[in-house]
Amino acid sequence: MASRDEIIEKAKNSILEYDAKEAENAARESIAGGVSPLDVIEKGFTAAMNIVGEQFETGEVFLPHVLAAAEAMNAGIAVLKPEMGRLSAKMESKGKVLIGTIEGDIHSIGKDIVASMLGIGGFEVIDLGKDVAITKFVEEAKAHKADVVASSALMTTTMICQITLENQLKEAGMRDKVKTMVGGAPCTQAWADQIGADIYAENANDAVVKLKALVE
């Protein structure tokens, strides 16, 4: 049986080698070995995706490589999801988090990782998916009585919709009933402060830590 560190390294390498089958194998090994899905995703899959992202920015790899790496990561996470659900079911819910990628933005990898991590962290997650209309955020937050409304924006052209979300929550008389969290590549703490969001999450682990601090 491989050690925890060896399994995490295997998970990381599977993404760097764009190998979906190996990512699935690493995920299965982690379950069999009792390794935390949180560690496999954060220190294995996500750490590797960050490297691929940096390589893309410097021109070392191209878009097909990024997509192949993302496909491998999704394959690994799919194997881990039942285990994450089992672990989440054992915990008392820390609160309801409504999450989605903002209107006009079809990127979902980062949002998917955050949603998975929050589930492991004990939150009840309602995932609206990608390209979510602002009105749907508001309607679903009201319908589910969400404690947190989290929006992801991966482009500077769509992050401005996070301002609209803040305003529409106010207009619906809900802003004082929910906390808002923003994240995504162009977002920063300064941006969160500027639009009045309660939390800026730099990555999935940051999101879990800050939301836990908020409810505990």
On whether the 96-215 domain is CATH 3.40.50.280, my answer is yes
117-142 mean pLDDT: 92
- Kindly tell me if the per-residue pLDDT of 91 is higher than 70: no
Give how far Cα 130 sits from Cα of 112, 143, 180, Å.
10, 19, 17
Tell me whether strands 199-201 and 179-183 are parallel, antiparallel or unpaired: parallel
- Kindly tell me if the per-residue pLDDT of 148 is higher than 70: yes
What residue type is assigned to position 77 of the chain? Answer: I
Please, are residues 185 and 202 in contact by the beta-carbon 8 Å criterion? no
Q: What is the DSSP string of 110-176?
A: HHHHHHHHHHHTT-EEEE--SSB-HHHHHHHHHHHT-SEEEEE--SHHHHTHHHHHHHHHHHTT-TT
User: Domain boundaries in the chain?
Assistant: 4-89, 96-215
Mean pLDDT value across the chain:
91
Q: What is the pTM of this model?
A: 0.72
pLDDT at 109: 76
Phi-psi region of 175 (alpha: psi -120 to 50; beta: other; left: phi over 0): alpha
pLDDT at 22: 97
133: Cα within 13 Å, side-chain hemisphere: 4
SS3 assignment, position 61: coil
Closest by CA to 200, choosing from 151, 127, 138, is 151
Class of domain 4-89: mainly alpha
Please, are residues 180 and 165 in contact by the beta-carbon 8 Å criterion? yes
- State in Å, rounded, how far the first CA of the chain is from the last one: 37
